[in-house]
Amino acid sequence: MEINQLRYFVAIYETGGFSKAAKRCFVSQPSLSQQIIKLERECGGKLFDRLKKKVVPTELGRVLYPQARTVLEGLEKIRRTVVEPEEVNTDQLRVGILPTIAPHILPATIESFRENYAHIHLSIVEDMTDNLLDALHHTEIDVAIMSLPIESKHVRHELLYQEPFVVLLPSNHELTKRKEISVEEIKSYPFIALDPRHCLGEQVESFCYTAQINPVIICKTAQVTTIQDCVSRNLGIAMVPSLVAHFDKDRSRTYRPLKSHQPSRPIVAAYLKSRSEIKSAMLFVDTLKALALSALENPKLGH
Pairing of the two strands 122-126 and 93-97? parallel
Task: For residues 270 and 257, state if they share a domain.
Answer: no
What range does the domain containing 231 cover?
A: 163-264
Task: For residues 102 and 61, state if they share a domain.
Answer: no
Q: What is the CATH number of the domain that holds 133?
A: 3.40.190.10
Cβ contacts of residue 169 below 8 Å, gap of 6+? Answer: 175, 176, 231, 237, 253, 254, 255, 256
Q: What is the pTM of this model?
A: 0.63
- Residue 261 is given by DSSP the state -
Task: For residues 251 and 177, state if they share a domain.
Answer: yes
Cβ atoms of 288 and 109 within 8 Å: the answer is yes
Separation between Cα atoms, residue 75 and residue 5, nearest integer Å: 14
Which residue, 87, 110, 137, sits at the end of a domain?
A: 87
pLDDT of residue 300: 64
Cβ atoms of 214 and 224 within 8 Å: the answer is no
pLDDT of residue 82: 61
pLDDT of residue 86: 47
Cβ contacts of residue 273 below 8 Å, gap of 6+? Answer: 154, 155, 156
Domain contains 303: no
Cβ atoms of 48 and 57 within 8 Å: the answer is yes
- Crossing angle, helix 279-297 and helix 102-116, to 10 degrees? 120
Task: For residues 137 and 283, state if they share a domain.
Answer: yes
pLDDT of residue 88: 45
pLDDT of residue 47: 93
Q: Each residue of 186-201: b (16+ CB within 10 Å) or e?
A: beebebbbbeeebbbb
Task: For residues 78 and 154, state if they share a domain.
Answer: no
- Residue 174 is given by DSSP the state G
Task: For residues 180 and 113, state if they share a domain.
Answer: no
Task: For residues 148 and 277, state if they share a domain.
Answer: yes
Task: Please measure the distance between the N-terminal and C-terminal CA atoms of the chain and give it in whole angstroms.
Answer: 43
Q: What digits encode the pLDDT tens for the residues 285-300? A: 999 999 999 888 876 6
Domain contains 302: no
Task: For residues 201 and 135, state if they share a domain.
Answer: no
Q: What is the CATH number of the domain that holds 46?
A: 1.10.10.10
pLDDT tens for the chain, 303 residues long, are 888 899 899 989 988 888 888 887 877 888 889 999 999 999 999 999 988 778 899 999 999 999 998 898 888 777 666 655 544 445 689 999 998 898 889 999 999 999 989 889 999 999 988 899 999 998 999 999 999 888 888 999 999 999 888 889 999 998 888 888 888 888 888 888 887 776 776 777 777 767 667 777 888 888 888 889 999 999 988 888 888 888 888 889 999 988 877 788 899 999 998 888 888 999 999 999 999 998 888 766 655
Please spell the DSSP secondary structure of 68-112, one letter per residue: HHHHHHHHHHHIIIIIHHHH---S-EEEEE-TTTHHHHHHHHHHH
Pairing of the two strands 264-272 and 143-147? antiparallel
Which residue, 58, 87, 116, sits at the end of a domain?
A: 87
Q: What digits encode the pLDDT tens for the residues 149-190? A: 888 889 999 999 998 888 899 999 988 888 888 888 888 888
Q: Rounded to an integer, what is the distance from CA 19 to the centroid of its chain?
A: 17
Task: For residues 205 and 260, state if they share a domain.
Answer: yes
Q: How many domains does the chain have?
A: 3
- Contacts for 247-252: CB closer than 8 Å, 24+ residues apart: 247/103, 247/104, 247/105, 247/108, 247/295, 250/303, 251/171, 251/303, 252/170, 252/171
Name the region of 236 (left: φ>0; alpha: ψ -120 to 50; beta: rest). left
Separation between Cα atoms, residue 298 and residue 303, nearest integer Å: 14
